[in-house]
Amino acid sequence: MDRSKLYRRFRTLLIANRGEIACRVIRTARAMGLRTVAVYSEADREAMHVALADEAVLLGPARARDSYLNVERLIEAARKTGAEAVHPGYGFLSENAEFAQACFDAGLVFVGPTAEMMNAMGSKSGSKALMEKAGVPLVPGYHGEAQDEATLAKAADKIGFPILVKASAGGGGRGMRIVRSAGELAPAIVSAKREAKAAFGDDLMLIEKYVDNPRHIEVQVIGDSHGNLLSLFERECTLQRRHQKVIEEAPSPTLNAAQRETVCAAARKAAGAVNYVGAGTIEFVSDGKDVFFIEMNTRLQVEHPVTELITGIDLVEWQLRVAFGEALPLKQDEIRLNGHAVEARVYAENPTRNFMPSVGRISTWRLPAEAGGLRIDAGYREGDAVSPYYDAMLAKMIAWAPTRDVAIERLNRGLEESDVRGIVTNIPFLSALMTHPKVRTNAIDTGFIERELAVLTQAAPAPGELELCAAVAAILNDERQAAGAQASSPWQTFGWQPVGRRQRNFAFRVGHGPEQRITLNYGSGPSTLVIGERELAFTTTAKEGGFDLTLDGVKSSVAAVIDGHELYLRTRNGRFDLHWVDPFGGESEEQAGEDKIAAPLPGTVVAVLAEEGAKLEKGAPILTLEVMKMEQTLRAPFAGVLKAIRCKVGDIVQEGVELAVVEPSGE
């Protein structure tokens, strides 16, 4: 193959992706003087990556298979805009050998490995066969081409349960299932294949022994077209949920210097087996004693920023320079490890509802400044819509410090100072995770989050004195601002009256809990707040995103968002959602009963798992929805009879639509 066609200098780069990674690539490309082209679906017309790029091309409808997974439309977008190169980002087609080959055939530089390298290493099955031949230790498993149920069942039985069934082509936990008994195998394979096909367009499965209490360690590698291949130290990604990484850090706090050199040498050997060119990651699993190769990701990883922060290397810049045909600028012994970095993935999801994705428009987006070792890679802004069609990741928050403890403290401070509204996010969950004592002492494994979920998703504490006073102050500040156009408005003195001392009563509640009351005294003299028998003098000073509240001489910083009668407050005690009870009455609320089997979010019905008339136990699966490329199974809320199914496979359903009717058994 003519290397001049594979690697050459270019001026215009098309980014075949969306969200945070598209924004990330655009920033480095533009800093290098390149012209950038974004692509987008109909759901992403107003997306951040579209606004950042020099040009943008509409690919098609919202579904990924009609837009971001459509190779022909991506190649045509490059042709239309004069793009000479394509960066695939991660996810979507980033590890698709057919796409890499299509780019080459169209005369485009593909910023990544060749199709041949992808076929050898990008396939989990193919890479395992290659590593087995090279003598790299593997987790016991099956990675053959035969995919019939009998073959897979026989392989699973030979390996011994528990096993892991996972998609050969993908990542991010999609198309992956833990199977603990033979009876669970067939439905797990069907579900994993369906999910993998939807996410990656490939449903080839492999089976491997599930390592109990494992740790996930991976090594960043990068090679150029001149025969240079480097490892950039390792990362640890043990904190996972549903096989999807949540927290990543570099270097691994588990390895000592000798172990680090051993695993990095193994990674270079693995990548060298195919003369690898481009950025990639060699992934390993450890049982506490041995380290086994599990797969190679032939692309940039979501967690690449932690490697960048400990090495001072911009991996996207190096990817582009390799694509230019340049040699890597450093040798192996010139790469230095400096400090520690930790990354948290911020998702639009509700941890208290089994991490159900959250969709809607972001009404408030307040993240701290990138300073003091804090870095934020975001793909969304205030006003952006989070759709049900794609991965739910909004941003990544990364902190660097000289030591692990300080890096964790910096990251947690950044999380605590973040306020995102309009959708539900996992930010409080991430903060709880980073402050967990076992995370601080590195006493974890990949099952840690599931075991500690009840602790990590504890309900917010009840609002106390500080929060009730802050709620009143937030309302008064909001009223002041509303009257701000009138410079002499008497409302600037908290409810002006011509003479005497007056009162104003407030009532708040959390959810459907009891009302909590507080009284404002104002008029002549200082204003005070009365809670029960306590009367507190207070003042407020407005600032961006909230105010400083001084109660009896103690100043506290408060973040506040008011949406009608709904108040969001962040104080030193945590985050609080309060409802301001309408002082004039007239409130009405309607709750869906627990027995309503409705779509929790917009999605596609991908499986109906029970028949009308069937007797169901509580928790029995009824149907499966695909939401944000992940499958959600809806289950019977109680024992009963399935009276009706009001949807069929392939239906696209909106949030709140009733999908099934279960009649209680009466037992």
Domain-wise residue ranges, the chain: 3-111, 140-209, 215-456, 465-580, 597-664
495: pLDDT strictly greater than 50? no
Task: Please choose, from the candidates 388, 393, 358, 386, the residue with its C-alpha nearest in 3D space to the C-alpha of residue 63.
Answer: 388
For 215-456, CATH gives 3.30.470.20
Give the C-alpha distances (Å, rounded to integers) separating 590 from 92, 134, 512: 40, 64, 11
Average pLDDT over residues 394-420: 98
Question: How many Cβ atoms are within 10 Å of 131's Cβ, its own excluded?
Answer: 23
pLDDT value at residue 618? 87
What span, in angstroms and rounded, lies between the C-alpha atoms of 345 and 198?
23
Poorest-pLDDT segment among 148-152, 289-293, 573-577, 608-612: 289-293
Tokens of 103: 């780019």
Give the C-alpha distances (Å, rounded to integers) separating 507 from 260, 416, 510, 586: 58, 27, 11, 14
Identify which has the larger pLDDT, 91 or 2: 91
Identify which has the larger pLDDT, 329 or 654: 329
pLDDT value at residue 123? 65
Q: Do 3-111 and 597-664 fold alike per CATH?
A: no
Report domain 597-664's class.
mainly beta
Identify which has the larger pLDDT, 521 or 488: 521
**Annotation marks residue 299 as catalytic:** yes
Exposed/middle/buried for residue 468 (C-beta within 10 Å: 0-12, 13-18, 19+): buried
pLDDT-derived band at 125, boundaries 50, 70, 90:
low
Task: Please choose, from the candidates 417, 364, 423, the residue with its C-alpha nearest in 3D space to the C-alpha of residue 571.
Answer: 417
> Read out DSSP for 427-485?
HHHHHHHHT-HHHHTT---TTHHHHTHHHHTPPPPPP-HHHHHHHHHHHHHHHHHHTTT
pLDDT value at residue 124? 65
pLDDT value at residue 589? 40
pLDDT value at residue 27? 98
3-class secondary structure per residue, 133-145: HHCCCECCEECCC
What span, in angstroms and rounded, lies between the C-alpha atoms of 541 and 577?
22
493: pLDDT strictly greater than 50? no
| Coil vs helix vs strand at 625 | strand
- Please, which residues bridge with residue 640 across strands? 616, 664
| Coil vs helix vs strand at 616 | strand
Question: Which residues have C-beta within 8 Å of that of residue 506, sequence separation ≥ 6?
Answer: 471, 472, 475, 517, 518, 519, 520, 580, 583
Any idea which residue has 């603990």 for tokens? 180
Average pLDDT over residues 502-512: 92
Q: What is the dihedral of CA 290, 293, 297, 298, to 10 degrees?
A: 130
pLDDT value at residue 130? 78
Question: Which residues have C-beta within 8 Å of that of residue 485, sequence separation ≥ 6?
Answer: none
Average pLDDT over residues 353-382: 94
Average pLDDT over residues 467-492: 76
Question: How many Cβ atoms are within 10 Å of 490's Cβ, its own excluded?
Answer: 12
| Coil vs helix vs strand at 175 | coil
Tell how strand 12-15 and strand 85-87 pair up: parallel
Report domain 465-580's class.
alpha beta
pLDDT value at residue 491? 41
pLDDT value at residue 136? 75
Residue % of the chain over a pLDDT of 70? 93
Question: Does domain 140-209 sit in CATH 3.30.1490.20?
Answer: yes
Run of H or E including 150:
helix 149-159
Q: How is residue 80 annotated by DSSP?
A: H
Q: What are phi and psi of 375, to 5 degrees?
A: -130, 140
Query: How far out from the chain centre does Cα 63 lie?
Result: 19
Give the C-alpha distances (Å, rounded to integers) separating 183 from 125, 141, 615, 635: 24, 19, 20, 19
pLDDT value at residue 172? 63
Identify which has the larger pLDDT, 1 or 504: 504
Q: What are phi and psi of 413, to 5 degrees?
A: -60, -40
12: pLDDT strictly greater than 90? yes
What span, in angstroms and rounded, lies between the C-alpha atoms of 416 and 422?
18
470: pLDDT strictly greater than 80? yes
Identify which has the larger pLDDT, 231 or 274: 231
Mean pLDDT of the chain: 90
pLDDT-derived band at 460, boundaries 50, 70, 90:
confident
Report domain 3-111's class.
alpha beta
pLDDT value at residue 201? 80
Average pLDDT over residues 545-551: 95
pLDDT-derived band at 595, boundaries 50, 70, 90:
low
pLDDT value at residue 121? 81
Poorest-pLDDT segment among 227-241, 451-465, 593-607: 593-607
Residue % of the chain over a pLDDT of 90? 70
Tokens of 405: 């403890």
pLDDT value at residue 592? 37
Q: How many residues in the chain?
A: 667
Exposed/middle/buried for residue 463 (C-beta within 10 Å: 0-12, 13-18, 19+): buried
Cis peptide before 402 (omega within 30 of 0): no
Average pLDDT over residues 164-183: 83
Active-site option among 299, 410, 570, 575:
299
- Tens digit of each residue's pLDDT (9 = 90 or more) over 236-267: 999 999 889 999 999 999 999 998 998 999 89
423: pLDDT strictly greater than 50? yes
Tokens of 172: 């991010």
- Tens digit of each residue's pLDDT (9 = 90 or more) over 611-633: 999 999 988 999 998 876 677 88
Average pLDDT over residues 315-332: 98
pLDDT-derived band at 167, boundaries 50, 70, 90:
confident
